[in-house]
Amino acid sequence: MPKSINSTQPPLKFIPPRFNPLILKVMSLFLPFILRVRTRPWLPAGIVKIEAQNAEVLAKLYHEFQGGKIRFLIAFRHPEVEDPLSMLYLLSRIVPQVAREKGISLQYPVHSHFMYERGMTLWAGNWLGWLFSRCGGVPVRRGRKVDRNAIQMARNLFVNAKIPIAIAPEGGTNGHSGMVSPLEPGVAQMGFWCVEDLQKANRTETVFIIPVAIKYSYVIPPWQKIDWLLSKLEADSGLVGAEINQSGKNKEEILYQRILRLAEYLITEMEEFYRRFYHQEFTEVISQDISANELLINRLHRLMDTALTITEKYFNVQPQGNFIDRCRRLEEAGWNYIYRDDIKDIHSLPPLKRGLADWVAEEADLRMQHMRIAESFVAVTANYIQEKPTADRFAETVLLMFDMLSRIKDSTLPGRPRLGLKQAMITVGEPISVTERWQVCQGNKQAFRQGVSDLTQDLFVALERLIKD
């Protein structure tokens, strides 16, 4: 049984950025240690090596930014929770080092404001909001149609701050270093707004968006740990039956067959769960002309749709957009039931109203668990492992399955088991000029919307190219 929130909570207040260079300096000083200690068993595996390609591009851009010639936004890939630390390492250590080697003069700090998801402080603690604020972070409520506080703050920083701003256009982690999730249009929109605001202020800076890809890999392929974790998941799920035929198969083929078997078992169990207790019907998926793993993905997507539909009906939310969009909107709906903006003082409520508010919060949190299970698998595809059967992709997939089982067992997602030390490769792409695009579509709303759409698509293509290079 998941451990639900059992009482209503105060509203989630906006945490304004209060950038403090001293706090940033302390963070940068201890950054290698912070990255390394994340190898503790109850936290994700730590990063022991970070390298960058084309960091000179960023060094030159910072030089021009500090000279008042340009404004830019760093649009970075967001595969894992470690990404903010990796980006901090890139900006605080690698870029200044490259600048010194190339004779490019830079002023301290080489840093950026950044947007982070407001919910991070709920599972990490209030200390994270304090730290992110002092490091220049802007919290955003992802599910809100318009988070005015966040948008206005980020828009102002993009135009006027002494350092650039960084945003993950995917909106959240997807657990896949080798796959880019659909991008949200906010980054492109921010770019066009920045050009407009500069024009209104009679300023001549050119606006750029810089695509940055982050890819993680294990220093030593953790095949034994993957086998161990998969065995643990099989045991925890109660999977029993015939063993995989290992005759003539290598370890990758055997592990892949075990993953498929476990996935099919889990999907079947969850279908029965929703059929029996939520009165959902699951008709047989026609398997003609599709492979076994494609059939499995179709069943997974149907299961995700079922979980989201149940939650949407409870919160009276219309299903719109892709799985990611639906998860975001449900997250916001759930928070509105738990973190009550309409209650000025929770403690002043009479016992009846307090009891009802607690009841609503507890049930909302429990309903959101359906969404969380679906959220774990939004990036899963039929051929991710088959395209490149590397230990990294096997590990990513098995860890997502671990997340799913953990949510059902405990609700509060525990730290993932460590599979080994990791390294990161950060690749800086070529700057995309937003100013040039804005000049083509200014003054025409339809052309403006198309310009935002085209820029979003071009940024997606650029990020995909960077992770494949």
Q: Do both 77 and 151 map to the same domain?
A: yes
Q: What are phi and psi of 127, to 5 degrees?
A: -60, -30
- Of 388, 410, 432, the position where a domain reaches its end is 410
With respect to residue 16, please indicate whether it lies within any of the assigned structural domains.
Answer: no
Domain count, the chain: 2
- What number of helices (H) and strands (E) belong to the chain? 17, 8
Q: 236 and 173 in one domain?
A: no
| Residue-level pLDDT at 348 | 92
208 and 281: one domain?
no
Strand extents, DSSP E, 2-61: 47-53
Please report whether residue 84 resides in a domain.
yes
Per-residue pLDDT of the chain (469 residues; tens, 9 = 90+): 345 688 999 999 999 999 999 999 999 999 988 887 754 444 444 888 999 999 999 999 999 999 999 999 999 999 998 899 999 999 999 999 999 999 999 999 999 999 999 988 887 888 999 999 999 999 999 877 778 999 999 999 999 999 999 999 998 888 899 999 999 999 999 999 999 999 999 999 999 999 999 999 999 999 999 999 999 999 999 987 657 767 667 888 999 999 999 999 999 999 999 999 999 998 876 666 777 788 889 999 999 999 999 999 999 999 999 999 999 999 999 999 999 999 989 999 999 999 999 999 999 999 999 999 998 888 788 789 989 999 999 999 999 999 889 888 874 555 678 899 999 999 999 999 999 999 888 778 888 889 999 999 999 999 999 998 6
Lookup: tokens for 422? 């990791």
Whether 201 and 259 map to the same domain: the answer is: no
Does the residue 5 lie in any domain? no
CA dist., res. 296 & res. 285, Å (int): 9
If asked whether residues 265 and 307 sit together in one domain, one would say yes
CA terminus-to-terminus distance, the chain:
45
Instruction: Give the per-residue pLDDT at 1.
Output: 36
Residue 101 within a domain: yes
Q: Can you tell me which residue has the tokens 């040039």?
A: 436
- Give the pLDDT confidence score for residue 425 in this predicted structure: 97
Last residue of a domain, one of 365, 381, 410: 410
Token pair 């080798």: residue: 178
Same domain, 191 and 126: yes
Domain that holds residue 151: 21-220+421-468
Backbone angles phi, psi at 458, to 5 degrees: -65, -35
One domain, residues 380 and 243: yes
Structure tokens belonging to residue 43: 């936290």
Q: Are residues 275 and 405 in the same domain?
A: yes
- CA–CA distance, 171 with 78 (Å, rounded to integer): 8
Alpha-carbon distance 428 to 84, whole Å? 15
pLDDT number for residue 414: 53
**Is 1 within a domain?**
no
* 356 in any annotated domain: yes
- Does 2 map to a domain? no
Q: Which of 412, 410, 357 is nearest to 7 (CA)?
A: 357
Q: What is the pLDDT of residue 241?
A: 66
Chosen domain end from 391, 410, 429 = 410
115 within some domain = yes
Same structural domain, 186 and 216: yes
Note whether 369 and 385 are same-domain residues. Answer: yes
What is the CATH number for 173?
A: 3.40.1130.10
Q: Are residues 463 and 385 in the same domain?
A: no
Query: At 208, phi and psi to the nearest 5?
Result: -130, 155
CA distance 462 to 455: 10
Q: What does the alpha-carbon distance between residue 308 and residue 306 come to, in Å, rounded to a whole number?
A: 5
Locate 111 and state its tokens: 């840093």
Q: Are residues 114 and 180 in the same domain?
A: yes
Task: Please identify which residue in the block is written with the tokens 């010639």.
Answer: 69
